[in-house]
Chains A and B, each alone.
Chain A
Amino acid sequence: MIELLAQAPPPPSFWNRPPYSPELYVMVIGTIILGLALFFGLTYAPTRLKRPIVMTFTFLSGLFYVLLWLVPTPLKPKEPGELPLNPVDAAGIWFSDALPRVADVAQILSAFLLGLGIFSLLTIHIRKINRKQTDWGFSIVLLVSMVLMLGFGYADWIMKEFRDPLGLLQDSSNWTFVNQMSDLLFDGILQQMDAAMFSLIAFYILSAAYRAFRVRSVESTVLMASALILMLSLMGGVAYAWGQGIDALVIGTGNEFLNNLKITEVANWLRTNMQAPAIRAIEFGVGLGALAMGIRIWLGLERGGVSA
């Protein structure tokens, strides 16, 4: 297992104590004790205290990112042995050092939560198989696939990362049964099924477009007309013929304004003057909504739902 944990040593800081140093051991033991205290504390905390505890943690976590955003990031990373220019520079350096550690904590939490997700999946499907519920055969397929993918995927990774110092496994002719199975399961089956699901979208677009573009109201008529113009403008033959027709009209009438009626021009106008501003306006609204939501969660102002 030691090779799994092996990694290049990062520069020492508050977050990276030197390897094998007493400080590191003290920090590891302290963190374990703190973690256990937090775990049992949260488990046995009275219900009325749980909300303030969650709110405090949410606030502190949010505060880190708010300060990270407000404190200027150093333009030049600090080299070992350099002194910060001023307190703002020192704070910026500290936050830059701390960010990967905080991200690590989030990743560790996610890993635990993934375990819960897999537990949910196993519970549901094992129960389905036990009770022989409708389509229980699919559940067997899922569980077998999961075990095979985990087993072969992990074994393949170990072989390629740690048991192949000469890089012989880069060449598929040197692959063992494990490597071939891993490749078959991932590239041969999973990726292909992903591609098949993605391909279904082409058919769904057609059926959805048929329903959406039926002229039932003013809105759907406008939608259909603008979509038609954009689609026609992307067809080379149509755009060319349309352009030729407009050119002939311009020559015939001498009115150069008519050039604006070329289908590529109309489509471009729709994109830049209708579509882009509308999308930007929606994104302004979404951004403000996310900001307000973030503030409410951060400050614990929201009642009900997640914050409850």
Chain B
Amino acid sequence: MQYLDTGPFGILVTLMMVAFVLINIFRAKGSKGLYIRRIAGLNAIDDAIGRATEMGRPVLMVPGIGGLDAVSVQAINIFAQVTKTAAQFTTPIRLCCADAAVYTVAQEVIRDVYQKEGMSDRYDSTSVQFVSDRQFAFAAGVSGMILRDKAAATFFLGAFFAESLIFAETANAVGAIQVAGSTQTSQTPFFIAACDYVLIGDEFYAASAYLTREPVLVGSLVGQDWGKLAIICMILLGFVTMSAERLQITNEARVDDPDKGTSKIVSVAEATKDQFRERRKRASDTVVHRIFNPIRTEEALDIKREKDPNFVPPATNGAEGNGTEAAGGGA
């Protein structure tokens, strides 16, 4: 990262959030019964699987179309819980992946779930499928699967984009109970419009804590809440200080040069070409603005490194010899 972009403030805030999460994880290890508010979408999981069992139809899960990252890992964690319940009811499952790495991890996790439940013989290796890594080919493939298998319950959790509505409406067409959640704020409204239950925002990350009640996960959830409180306090503090500061009169102004990426403090007279000597502080003159946009002086950007006296420049004649002589050649 570039400290000159955000200053040390960004790092400090992030480290504070990390500390909140870690402190609460270790606090929660010794305590029991931390409260988590009711999340309707997660309560519906058992009902959805029960319905699929009664109807003798499969449960279909999609961990989004993103790569292997925190979002898809969390989706697979939730699907592990769904699969656990489905395995107990001997309900068939389908897990469709659009990314090969996610597919590999999902396959391992689902197999482990069956093994842990002592039902290895019921694990169907084709229940976790790699469909396609092209967005709409994946959408077509999964929609076809929903229609052919007539899934009784569908879980769309992860990173979704334009295909979200295709999945949700296809599942609705076959009368499936739908539980959905996306970290993409642009897709959440589509899920809200089309699905029965939706996990909004960080409810998605709270799901594994909610389903397992593991102290580590619940503690991390409390840490996130501390983080939210800290952010609320910072917003309020920023609002008050910025409002108060903008009532002040100043004779200094900040001037940014977007071409060079530098900024400097000059007198108001210089900044306004002698029009005014004083003026009310603008947003760019406030402390809050400077915290997020530190001043980059020309001197700070003018970096001169010393030359290495032992450096031998690489040959440029394409020599196929050996050693460093061939380093720059052969183009």
Cα distance, A284 to B135, chains bound together (Å) = 27
Beyond A85-B303, A193-B136, A212-B192, is A207–B169 a contact (Cβ under 8 Å)? Answer: yes
* A interface size (C-beta, 8 A): 79
Interface majority SS on B: helix, strand, loop or mixed? helix
**Smallest CB-CB separation from B173: which chain A residue?**
A207
Q: Which of B198-220 contact A (CB under 8 A)?
A: 200-202, 204-206, 208, 212, 214, 216-217, 220
Residue in B1, B105, B126, B169 whose CB lies within 8 Å of A73: B1
CB-defined contacts of A89 to chain B, threshold 8 Å: 305
CB-defined contacts of A85 to chain B, threshold 8 Å: 303, 305
Which of A242-250, A261-269, A289-297 touches B?
A289-297
Would you call A82 an interface residue if the criterion is a C-beta within 8 Å of the partner chain's C-beta atoms?
Answer: yes
Q: Which of B306-331 contact A (CB under 8 A)?
A: 306-308, 311, 313-314, 320-331
Cα distance, A257 to B25, chains bound together (Å) = 53
Q: Which of A69-83 contact B (CB under 8 A)?
A: 69-70, 72-76, 78-83
Beyond A9-B328, A211-B193, A279-B185, is A286–B205 a contact (Cβ under 8 Å)? Answer: yes
The reply to whether A292 and B194 contact each other, CB–CB distance below 8 Å, is no
The reply to whether B329 and A289 contact each other, CB–CB distance below 8 Å, is no
The reply to whether A282 and B216 contact each other, CB–CB distance below 8 Å, is no
Interface size class of B (residues with CB under 8 A): 35 or more
Cα distance, A13 to B249, chains bound together (Å) = 54
Would you call B92 an interface residue if the criterion is a C-beta within 8 Å of the partner chain's C-beta atoms?
Answer: no
Which of A18-26, A152-160, A176-184, A231-239 touches B?
A18-26
Would you call B177 an interface residue if the criterion is a C-beta within 8 Å of the partner chain's C-beta atoms?
Answer: no
The reply to whether B162 and A201 contact each other, CB–CB distance below 8 Å, is yes
The reply to whether B228 and A285 contact each other, CB–CB distance below 8 Å, is yes
Which of B16-24, B38-46, B270-278 touches A?
B16-24
Beyond A116-B104, A304-B77, A305-B208, is A204–B165 a contact (Cβ under 8 Å)? Answer: yes
Given contacts A110-B100, A288-B17, A292-B21, 20 further A-B contacts (CB under 8 A): A9-B330, A11-B327, A18-B326, A18-B327, A20-B322, A73-B2, A74-B303, A113-B100, A116-B130, A200-B166, A201-B165, A208-B172, A208-B193, A281-B201, A288-B228, A292-B205, A292-B223, A293-B70, A301-B25, A302-B217
